[in-house]
Structure 1
Amino acid sequence: MANGNHVIQLFDEFAPKHLAVEGDKIGLQIGTLNKPVHRVMVTLDVLESVVDEAIERDVDLIIAHHPPIFSALEQVNDRSAAGRIVMKCIRHDIAVYVAHTNLDVCEGGVNDWMSEALGLVDPTVLIPTYEEPVYKLSVFVPTTHRQAVSEALGRAGAGRLGDYGDCQFTVSGEGQFTPLEGSDPYLGQHGKTEHVEEVKIETIVTESQKKRVLKAMTDAHPYEEVAYDLIRDDIEGRVFGLGRIGRLSTPLTLAAFAEHVKASFGVAAVRIVGDPNRTIEKVAVLGGDGNKYVSAAHFKGADVYVTGDLYFHVAHDAMALGLSVVDPGHHVESVMKQGVVDVMRQKGERAKLDVEFFVSEADTNPFRFY
């Protein structure tokens, strides 16, 4: 059994909160993480039926994609579904944690799982939303510990430049310092200026690596106070964003591609916009409601755009652009359930957590086809 904060810390490494679009309702919405957690259920939506399932399966924590609280609740009582959801969760000590657009945007998240389901080749970001900052790290190390610190930086992931790893530059010099009263110096004596042969190691670090790299550096460094610089660099960082665009390994007609979408996501029907006989090769996909990004899919050269909740007039806009659309519904984002479970099981095993992760079996799709 693990603490809930530790479980979510591992999850946030995968889908960090800073990747969410501004104003998105993410994070802990119900309950507390400051408690033991043994059973974690992953769901697309937090409906009352999902909470009932969580109670029956003795769940401590729910990880959800869609926020159960998206706008302010004026009342919390048993007269509304939202009130009953909150009350049941509190009564049975079930915490609810939400990862919405950060799970869409992150590498290996919702839109990558959807791309994989469709078999897209070489998918890239459709709508960029965040470029990861890159920093130049310079650290001053006594020559006796040059190799230890250098290796620690590399193991922590510092120094990645394109297809090259462990990139570093060193220059030799002389360090100077005077240990003051209260210090516990590795070298030297209180009140006496010390001169030491040192090297300056320079490398690069991304925002997501920064905390881990600095810890590895200080753990390997012999000095009580480590002298280092961390400066924002102009090197282009990794680009994250909504949606993906890639190509099919074999072109299909729009009609055949629509059947492929149905089979890939296990849906009973899809809506299509465009000529069923049109040849489809380049595919844009965006989970959930993608109405705002029809023009972006067209601009990136997509033959077809796969997204949910297509509006009538937006369909007209797509027709005018010559862009085909396949709408399998919003609920296809449910690919995230098994995806998150797989990721967290791996992370939990590596961290040696005694935590069980499993998929919610409740059906939260409100639509049926007749």
Structure 2
Amino acid sequence: MNICNLHQPVGRYLQFRQYSMNLSEVVKRLNSLASTSLAESWDNVGLLLEPHSKKEIETMMLTNDLTEEVMDEAERIRANFILSYHPPVFQPLKRITSKAWKERIVARCLEKGIAVYSPHTSYDAVQGGVNDWLIQAFDGEEVSPLHPSKKLPKYSHQVTVTTSSELEAMALVESFTALLDQSQTFIKSSEKQMEVLCTEGTVPTIINLITDNENASALQLTLTKLEKVPIVGHGMGRKCKIVQPMTIEEAINRIKSHLGLPYVRLALAHGAKLV
């Protein structure tokens, strides 16, 4: 897979060289990065547009917002999957005509066989996601969510597998992601561990997969029945402890440098100063 830059692009695209991937597999892998259950209740995330045909994905376009300009580019590069951070379909559509730009985009996607997926707040909430990346600008300590995600009732158990190395834990996560139903599980790696949140009915399948693993004798398994507790590390917003005091101006410069922006908008509190 190659990541390609376009001339004066409004988006980015990934092109699968010499092979394609089925739409269901693409969605499965995206859901494994950040479960849609982490999204805010008001949000509209996941697979938003699914063409009736053309289920094999060859070129994926990445964009922050799916505008008509982006749509023009997607058609030009023959993309058949668009990952739009903000959901282009948010409110219910009563009709799909050529009168409104969002309706035109939906019609064009379906006509061209282009699938559309939006992660939005699930990528904000997930540990290691957008919010964790943003707060790195301040090199802070003790980073944690402002509003930790609550465990959904469907997750009744947590299976923790301790391995001998971080690489082995990551390999287990990749393997289990491919084998388990992502609508019934939430999988992540943490240092030398793989953690799986799951339904009670999925527990036997997970245990069998672990015991059948070629390195089963070296794995340590812990099974925990869960109450409705926060999912550690996931949630909306981030807070951290600043190592050294800084002025507002210093904070602004850190943000500009981290994001690669020449300017940022700022509203100062009454009586506040930049330095």
- After TM superposition, is the score higher than 0.5? yes
Shift of 1:259: 2.8
Residues 134 and 236 of structure 1 are in contact (CA less than 8 Å); yes or no, is this contact kept in structure 2? no
TM-score normalised to structure 1 length? 0.50
The whole-number CA distance in structure 1 between the counterparts of 2:48 and 2:195 is 32
Q: How far did residue 70 of structure 1 move?
A: 0.9
Contact 2:23 2:55 in 1 (8 A): yes
Q: Distance in 2 between matches of 1:213 and 1:67?
A: 33
Larger Rg: 1
Query: What whole-Å deviation, never above 9, does each CA across 1:114-147 have from its counterpart, x for those lacking one?
Result: 122444344211111224757377xxxxxxxxxx
CA distance in 2 between partners of 1:100 and 1:264 (Å) = 21
Which residue does the alignment assign to 1:114? Answer: 134
Tell me, yes or no, if structure 1 residue 31 matches structure 2 residue 50: yes
Partner of 1:4: 23
Q: Does residue 207 of the first structure (1) align with residue 207 of the second (2)?
A: no
Partner residue, 1:294: none
Q: Counterpart in 2 of 1:224?
A: none
For the pair 1:269 / 2:267, whether they are aligned, the reply is no
1:55 partner SS: helix
Matches within 5 A, 1:1-370: 1-32=20-51, 35-131=55-151, 135=157, 156=172, 206-207=196-197, 213-214=206-207, 216-217=209-210, 219=212, 232-233=225-226, 238-265=232-259, 266-274=261-269, 275-277=272-274
* TM-superposed deviation, 1:95: 0.7
Mapped to 2, the partners of 1:118 and 1:43 lie a distance apart of 26
Deviations 1:4-55 (A, max 9, x none): 1111111111111111122321122123397111111111111111111111
Counterpart residue number, 1:147: none
Amino acid at match of 1:242: M
The separation in 1 between residues aligned to 2:120 and 2:264, in whole angstroms, is 25
Offset at residue 239 of structure 1 (A): 4.4
User: For structure 1, which runs of at least 5 residues remain unmatched after alignment?
Assistant: 138-151, 167-203, 222-229, 279-370
Query: CA RMSD, aligned part only?
Result: 3.7
Contact preservation (8 Å) 1:134, 1:206: no
Aligned to 1:171: none
Distance 1:64 1:119, change over 3 A: farther
* Number of residue pairs the alignment of both structures matches: 217
Relative to the length of structure 2, the TM-score reads 0.66
- The 2-side partners of 1:164 and 1:56 are apart by 42
**Cα distance in 2 for residues equivalent to 1:236 and 1:165:** 21
Task: Check the 8 A contact 2:145/2:236 in 1, yes or no.
Answer: yes
- Other structure's SS at 1:271 match: coil
* Partner AA of 1:232 in structure 2: K
The residue that corresponds to 2:10 in the other structure is none
Q: Equivalents in 1 of 2:191, 2:254: separation in Å?
A: 38
Which sections of structure 2, spanning at least 5 residues, go unmatched? Answer: 1-19, 160-167, 177-189, 215-222
Q: CA deviation at 1:264?
A: 2.6
CA contact (8 A) 1:129 1:241 kept: yes
Offset of 1:63 from its aligned partner?
1.0
Distance, in Å, in 2 between the alignment partners of 1:127 and 1:236 is: 9
User: Is the CA contact 2:148–2:230 (under 8 Å) kept in the aligned structure 1?
Assistant: no
In 2, Cα distance between the equivalents of 1:110 and 1:164?
Answer: 20
Whether the aligned pair in 2 keeps the contact of 1:134 and 1:205 (CA below 8 Å) is no
CA distance in 2, matches of 1:276, 1:77: 51
Q: Describe the shift of the 1:220–1:123 C-alpha distance in structure 2 as closer, same or farther (beyond 3 A).
A: closer
Query: Aligned to 2:108, what secondary structure does the other structure show?
Result: helix
SS of the aligned residue for 2:245 comes to: strand
SS of residue paired to 1:252: coil
Report the identity percentage.
24
